[in-house]
Structure formats: C-alpha cells, structure tokens
A and B are shown apart, each in its own frame.
Chain A
Amino acid sequence: MTRAWWTKFILLTITVILSLVYIFPTVANLDPEKTKFPFKQKINLGLDLQGGLYLVLGVDFNKVYKDVVERQGDSFKARLKEKGINVTSMKLIREGLPLDDVHFSVEFEPSKRNEAHDVLKKEYWTLRLVAETGASFELGLSRDFKTEVRDRTVNQSIEVIRNRIDEFGVSEPVIASQGTDRLVVELPGVREIDRAKDLIGRTAKLEFKIVDDKSMKQGDVAALIEEIEKKNDIAYKEGQKFSDYVRKINELAKGKIAADTEIAFERTRGPTGQEIGRTPYLLHSKAEVTGDDLQDASVQFDQETRRPNVSFSLNPHGAALFDKVTGEHVSHRLAIVLDNIVHSAPVIQTRISGGRGQITLGRGDGDALMREAKDLAIVLRAGALPAQLEFLEQRVVGPSLGQDSIRKGATASIIGSLAVFLFVAFYYRISGVIAVFSLLLNVVFVLALLVGLEATLTLPGIAGIALTVGIAVDSNVVIYERIREELRQGKNAQGAVGAGFQKAIRTILDANVTNAAAAIVLFMYGTGPIKGFAVTLLVGIVTTLFTAVFVCRLIFDAYLKRLENKGIQTLSI
C-alpha cells in the first residue's frame, strides 16, 4: 500500500480508538464514581428516557411593564421637581393600548417645557416620547429599555426557579430561556408535578433581616450546627429537600439560640451549579423590609474606583423603614434573604435615608466582581419586580416507561440495522461486507459524537440513529450502483471503483445537504425529544459523509490491492 494510504489508515484507526473510548462508559454502564477508566462521561439521556418532569413556562411581562412604567414615572416626576419644575398631574394611560404597552402622562408648568425636554433627553434613555402638548408629555418605555426589562425579567425568573429547584436536590436540572418570553425547566427523576408546580409558580419572597452577631459569633453558629448534626446524625445530602434540613436544624437548635432568631444559610455554588460551600447565619426572625417595598436595583460603577456596586431604591414606605432600621443598626450586617436563602449580608456603614442605597462588594478580580454584582442585582429585582409565570406545558414521564422505551428503541434499532446489514452483504457480497463495516463505524462515530457534544439522547433520537443507518446505506448503494455501471461499460476494477466514487460524491453531497436543511429547521423548531431527533440526524449526516466517502474508499483501496496481488480481475460487487 502507498504511504498516503497508510497515513489515512492510521488517522482512521486513531479516530476509531478515540470514539470507542468515548462510548465505552455508556455501553459498559460504568459507575463514574468507582471506575478507574480515564474517560467517565456518559451519554445524556433525555427526560423521555430517564423519566422526569418537563415544564414550559410563559413569563407574563405585562404586569412587569406596568410596574416599570409606574416607577419610571415616579422617578421622572421626582427628577423634574429637583430641577425646579412643578408637576401638576401625572397619570397612567392604559386605554386603547396593547396589553404590553403602558404610557403615562405628566403635566407641568408650560414655561418650563424646554427644561423638562432637557431632562428627558439627557437622563431618560429609558423613556420614549409618544406625544406632547405645550404643557404635557405622554411617555412610554423606549424599545431598548423594554428589551432590557424583558431580558432582566427572564434572567431573574431563571434565578428564582434555580433557587427553588434546589429544594428537589435534582442532580442535573435544566433551566433555560426559549425564545424571548418562555422558560423551559427539565427536572430529571422528578415525578411530583404538583409540588414542583407549586414551588416554581410561587412568587419570589425577598426579605431583609438583621444578622445577630451579638448573642453568638458566626463561628459559634457553625460549631453549634456541627454539634447538632453529629448528635442527631443528620447531614444534608444532595437529593434531599434543603428546607427540611434547615427546619430540622432550627428545631434542634431551639433553646441554644436566642429567642426570635433563626439559622439560615448562604450557599456558594460552583460553575455547574452544584453546592461547594455553605455559610450559616443567625438572623433576627423579623423581616425589617420586604421586596414589596423595594423598587428597583441595578449594577452601577463607582466613578473613582471603577468597581461595580449594586444600587437600589425603595418606595416611600420602604424608605422610612430602611431609615429606621439602618439608623438603629449601624455596623451590623443586614442579610438579603430570597426564598429563605441568604444571598449576601453587607455591613450597614451609615444610616440610609431617602430611599436610595448602594452595596459595595468586597475584593476580587473584575470579572468575578461583576458577576457577583449582577447576581445580587438579580436577587434584589426578583423581590422588587416579581414576574408571574404561567404553565404552558407540563409533561411527566415515569421511570418505568422511560426504561421500557430505551429497551424497545434499542432492540428495534439493532434488529433493523442487522436486517439492513444482511441485505447489503447479500446483495453486494464482499463490497457489501465493506459497506457493513463502514456502517458499524458510522454508528460508533454517531454515539461518540453525541457523547462528545454532550447532546441529549431521546427516544426519537434513538429512532434517528436507526434512520441514519438506513440513510447511510443509500450512499453505499449510490456508489456501488455507479461502480456496477462503470464495470458494464467495460472499465477494469480499478477504473470502475475510481470513477464510481468520483461520480457518486456529488449526488451524495446533494442528498445530505437537503437532509441537513430539513434537520436544521427541525432543530430550530423542536424542543425536548424532537430536538434530540434533529441532533442525531445532523450528527448522522456528518458521520455518513465521512464513512461513505473516506472510510469506505480506504477499505476499497486495500481490497483492490489484494485483488491485484492475487491476479483477480473481477470485483465482488
């Protein structure tokens, strides 16, 4: 064989070995914790195969828009006043407008019209001037700001849901946005649909509570918890309800902590969302201020240090409460608690009056700090502007149906593939065997790529693999029929194989391009199981091109060489 052939052969061998390494943990069903095998990742199974809960949630923006418009209006009015422009009336306009568009009108002294214009233009990119008279503006949200509100609302909803899903201790939950106004939540292994819905659909509860550092030091709290855990043999393990654990700790700590206090935790998460640390706090049970009184929160940059901080504003009721509590507790810490989980506990530096405050963050590098600031702003907004969620789709698959599906799907695929293999080997003899071999490699490559891409295998996806085998044979048939034709026209084996491959490639490419086009549309349209189908089809198209054109040709070259060495002129095809 030529050098070029050997190079290709070695390349192929490496690809095959690598692919086998990728699929071994899945096929052998290795336990990733115990095995010594270097590669541990297994194929992801879709919810339809492993069982679990799939929810599509719609975010109701209309209420959020209305709240935001109201707050923008208040802020604009206040700003005009600061500039010495008297606002004579302000009202919300909803009539005659689509649900997602709310306006407000402000009336001011006609003589200050230019000044009012200035304020609007320079300071309020968030507002859009819809109509104006000599002494009034009608304002709505600007398009950019609306988009921002939308994105923020979706992000905060995701954050809130993630927070609550920890209740289930699901090992690999998926919470993602779909389109602009939908969320998809996948909870593998969860079957209690009503409890899940109850948890997810509840409005977020944000509270500010004073940290009690006086009656007990934070280190002592941690020691106390450790003691309780040891004595009563309780510990939080993944898969349990975190709130149960917290309740138990609090029950057992009663009498050891001051009355009217409670223990709450801050949970630190790693990049994939798993818990990597837990900090206990002793809090005063009474919530000093709640999310209802919070108006908005955003990330701002300090002019001097260029470091991000989180600014927030309160409504008049909240401002009064905040003024009082910060005045009484200077140098204490104020915990920000969302759905009973502590997210931050900044120290109160000064009395905060006027309903505006900011939280500066600790040390850290720029990116991490920015992320922290964003997360905190999301938590605060989740309490300030809670979004209503609607359940659009709820699907639960029981574990036994999933198991049954895997078994049947795999059996059907294997039987179908074997039948195709037999047929091809029978019809094309030795060339058929070559095709079967390349088809087998094709399946190995598809599976390896699915593992490598961390794609999700669903039941239609399994069907997609079976279909890929069926479609991949098409390429072999097209090539072989072409070779047969070339042979009939009197070409020798070598010539016929060369011409056959060359002329067939274009047809094969065409076929796969249109297949891919449909699969891509399917990928964009589909969700859940359907998306899994589209992914296997796409992956299958890539591997089919590789095996039919490259692998099959490589083996054919070796086969031709063998014929030549033996002095045989006829091809077994």
Chain B
Amino acid sequence: MFEIIKPGTQIDFVGKRFIWLGLSGLAMLATFVLFFTNGLNYGIDFTGGAEVHIKVPVSWDISKVRVEMDAAGIKGLRVQQIGELSLHEFLIKAQGDEKSLNLVSGQVRGVLEKQLKPGEFEIHRSDVVGPAAGSSLRNSGFLAMFYALLCILVYVTIRFDYRYSPGAVIALFHDSVITLGVFIVTQKQFDLQILAALLALIGYSNNDTIIVYDRVRETVKQHPELNISKAVNRAVNETLARTILTSLTTFISVFALWLFGGKVIEDFAFTLMVGIVVGTYSSIFIASSLVISITNYYDKRAAKLKAGGNAKTGKHQMTARPNPGHVSG
C-alpha cells in the first residue's frame, strides 16, 4: 500500500492558525490594494477593442508590421510578437470607439493583401468587441461569480449549518481573490476564458473543504470529549491524504493542458493550476481554522446570552434563574 501520508499522522495545523489566517488576510488585503492601484490587465473582452492575430513572412519584423499598420490608419495601435519567434506571428491591438474598431480587421486585411501574395500571410484570429459590449460583459461576469458564491453559500448552509457555511464561502472567496491577485501581479491578460476558469474553480475548490468539514462533523459527533480545535485538527489530518491526492490528480490534468495545450488555452490552464494550489491550501489551513473561530464565537455569544443582558458591562452579573415552567390549568 502506497501512502503519501502515514495513518496516525498528527501535524498541528490549527495551533498556528492565526499565522495562516494572518498571512491569507494580508495577501487578500494586498490584492485589494493592487486591484485599485495597478488593476487587472483586462483583455478586450472586458474593455472593448480589437485584436488581430496574423502570421507574416520572415521579411516582416515587428517594426515593419507596426509601420505598415500605422500607415493604414489604425487608431490606438499596439503591435506585439507572440508565440515562438521563428513563427513570425504578431498580435495587432487597437483601441478606440465603435466606429474605428469596426474598421480594424478590414484595414489589417487590406494591408496584407496589398503588400503580400496570397498564401504568404494568414489571419489566424480577429476579435473586435465594442466598448459597450465589453463593459456589460465585465459586469455580468463579476455578477456571475457572485451568484456562484451565493449558490454555494446556500447549499453549504442547508447541508451543514451556520457554523460551517461562512468558513466554506470565505475560503472560496479567498481562493478567487488570491487567484485574481496572481493575475494582477503577473499582469497576465484577464479575459472571458479566465473568468470561466475562476467560476469552475469556485465549484471545484469547495470539494476539498466539504471533505474536511464532513470529517469535522463526524469527529465532533463521535468524540464529544474533544474540544473544537482538537476535533478539527484530527479531521484535517485524517483527510490530509485525500485532500492532497484529489488535488494532485486534477493538477496533473491541468498541468498537461498548460504544457501541451497551446497558446490559446495556456492562461486558462494556468488559472486552474493556481486555483487548485490555493484551494488546497485554503481547505487545509483556512476553512478549518475558520470553523474553530466561528464555533468559538458562537459559543462565547451563547455563554454571554446565558450570563444575561448586563454581561457587557461586567459590573452587574446575574446568574440564570431556573425556568419556572408553565403553569398548567
């Protein structure tokens, strides 16, 4: 029997939980700050704009492409070489209003047809998104993420209870935010595909959390003598092999996509890779720690309520009086 984690392993995950929570909190805070300062590098799906992916002969280098396209009068022009250098493929980007964008693909084709023979060049892809369509795609995209989180909040609340559901959803939110953070730091282009990958991740990375939570609940039931921290730590250890293995197999598939899947889905696969790693971390460290904090919070509140209404001031303590019960008759 191969075992990556030996049975009976007892790593203290929850003891240092404030370190993990603090680190994740900081990372999320940093992402928020970066989101409003540096910002995401939105692709044209969300900002509007034009992108034409062309292949030209070796005699055309990047400056030649730029000069020719500029001469054609493309507004807000940017030229970028993509893929392997030997392939001589370029991305022609343009910004502007609806009217000028609508012309771009025709202008590019015009230049190539005029200067080159058919067969010497190829237009691989051409995307034009109007500015209005872009912003509506962005809004509905973030809305979709919100709905997905909401669905999962509702499900986890029904399936477990209020002690668990906030942790699960905060963990998911954490995963999405950190993955977004990676996109801000690397300045990789954030487009519709990436958003789709994030949505899929919201569904997927909850799986590990549920496995841990299921076990926490089982442990609490079977061992009422354990306090919540001990129960959680035990559950995390017992499910550790599972958590790592499930993530590992999915990671393998996605890694292959990233490595061999080609330029078009490279970033899509990259998002999934980052998300799977972050999601696994959050299931082990964050979601479990949150259950402890939330349970403690509820317990304390319950104790306070029991202690009576003046518990806040602490001056006048009142002990609970036995309930006189209903007077029958």
Contacts and interface: CB of A to CB of B under 8 A. Distances in A.
B246 A484 contact: no
Contacts of B277: none
A274 interface: no
A426 B254 contact: no
Contact of A416 (B98, B106, B252, B264): B252
Interface string B241-256: 1100110111111111
Interface residues of B, number: 68
A525 B145 CA distance: 10
Interface string A390-406: 11111111101100110
A268 interface: no
A405 B122 contact: no
B27 interface: no
Given A415-B256, A477-B249, A518-B152, A404 B196 contact: no
Given A416-B254, A518-B203, A408 B262 contact: yes
Given A470-B250, A484-B1, A396 B105 contact: yes
A412 B256 contact: yes
B193 interface: yes
Contact of A507 (B148, B151, B203, B210): B210
B222 to A, nearest CB: 12
Given A412-B259, A507-B210, A510-B159, A193 B126 contact: yes
B133 interface: yes
B254 A467 contact: yes
Report whether over half of chain B's contact residues are helix, strand or loop; otherwise say mixed: helix
Given A408-B261, A507-B210, A514-B207, A478 B200 contact: no
B133 A478 contact: no
A193 to B, nearest CB: 5
Interface in A460-515: 460, 463, 466-467, 469-471, 473-474, 477-478, 481, 484-485, 488, 506-507, 510-511, 513-515
Interface string B119-135: 00011111111101100
B2 interface: yes
Contact of A466 (B203, B214, B246, B256): B256
Given A515-B207, A522-B200, A459 B264 contact: yes
A498 B128 CA distance: 56
Nearest to A419: B252
Interface in A375-402: 390-398, 400-401
Interface stretch (B265-273, B292-300, B314-322): B265-273
Contacts of B144: 521-522, 524-525
Contacts of A420: 249, 252-253
B93 interface: no
A405 B253 contact: no
A417 B250 CA distance: 10
Given A415-B256, A420-B253, A463-B269, A396 B125 contact: yes
A511 B109 CA distance: 49
B56 interface: no
B262 A521 contact: no
B3 to A, nearest CB: 8
B51 to A, nearest CB: 9
Interface in B263-315: 264-265, 268-269, 272
A413 B258 CA distance: 10
A524 B151 CA distance: 14
A517 B253 contact: no
Given A397-B125, A426-B2, A460-B196, A477 B242 contact: yes
A470 B129 contact: no
Interface residues of A, number: 73
Given A390-B130, A411-B260, A481 B207 contact: no
A507 B269 contact: no
A470 B106 contact: no
Contact of B196 (A428, A507, A515, A530): A530
A386 to B, nearest CB: 20
B22 interface: no
B102 interface: yes
A124 interface: no
B280 to A, nearest CB: 12
A517 B125 contact: no
A394 B260 contact: no
B40 to A, nearest CB: 18
B80 to A, nearest CB: 17
A522 B199 contact: yes
A392 B129 contact: yes
B155 A513 contact: yes
A533 interface: yes
B140 interface: yes
A423 interface: yes
Contacts of A416: 252-257, 260
Given A390-B98, A519-B200, A573-B1, A193 B124 contact: no
A537 interface: yes
Nearest to A521: B148
A173 interface: no
Contacts of B109: 194
17 contacts: A392-B132, A397-B124, A398-B122, A408-B261, A412-B256, A412-B259, A413-B256, A419-B256, A460-B268, A469-B253, A473-B250, A507-B211, A511-B211, A517-B203, A524-B144, A537-B200, A537-B203
Kindly list the 6 A-B residue pairs having the minimum CB-CB distance in the complex, ordered from nearest. A518-B203, A416-B256, A470-B253, A408-B262, A470-B250, A412-B260
Interface of A: 48, 56, 58, 191, 193-194, 197, 390-398, 400-401, 404-405, 408-409, 411-413, 415-417, 419-420, 423-424, 426-428, 459-460, 463, 466-467, 469-471, 473-474, 477-478, 481, 484-485, 488, 506-507, 510-511, 513-519, 521-522, 524-526, 529-530, 533-534, 537, 573
Interface of B: 1-2, 7, 53, 98, 102, 105-106, 109, 122-130, 132-133, 140-141, 143-144, 147-148, 151-152, 155-156, 159, 192-193, 196, 199-200, 202-204, 206-207, 210-211, 214, 238, 241-242, 245-246, 248-257, 259-262, 264-265, 268-269, 272
Given A420-B253, A467-B253, A518-B204, 12 more contacts: A194-B105, A394-B127, A395-B125, A395-B126, A396-B123, A400-B122, A419-B253, A420-B249, A466-B254, A474-B250, A518-B152, A522-B200
